[in-house]
Amino acid sequence: MQDRILDLSLRLTVVGLISVMGLATFIVGYQGIYLAIVGQFQQGAGRLAGAVALGMGTGLLLRYRGDLLDEKY
C-alpha cells in the first residue's frame, strides 16, 4: 500500500510539474510577444528568453519522465 501511495504521489508531482511549467511557458511567451508588439522590446525579449528556458526545462522533464517514474506500462 505504501509503495502505491509513493508511486502515485511521485507521478502526481512529476506530471503536475510538467503541466505547470508548460502552462507558464505559454503565459510568459504570450506576454513577451505582447510586450514586443507594443514596443517594449527589452522587457519582451526578457520574457521570451524566460519562455524559452521554461520550454527547454519542460522538454527535458518530458524526455526523461520515464527515468523519473517507474514506468510499468
Residue 4 near residue 51, CB atoms below 8 Å: no
Cα 29 off chain centre by:
12
**This prediction's pTM:** 0.81
Task: Kindly state whether residue 68 falls inside one of the protein's structural domains.
Answer: no
pLDDT tens-place string over residues 20-43: 999 999 999 999 999 999 999 999
Q: Which grid cell is 42?
A: 527589452
Task: Kindly state whether residue 50 falls inside one of the protein's structural domains.
Answer: yes
Task: Kindly state whether residue 45 falls inside one of the protein's structural domains.
Answer: yes
Task: Kindly state whether residue 21 falls inside one of the protein's structural domains.
Answer: yes
Q: 41 lies in which domain range?
A: 7-63
As for how many domains the chain has, the answer is 1
Task: Kindly state whether residue 42 falls inside one of the protein's structural domains.
Answer: yes
6 or 37, higher pLDDT: 37
Helix axes 41-63 and 2-37, enclosed angle (nearest 10): 150
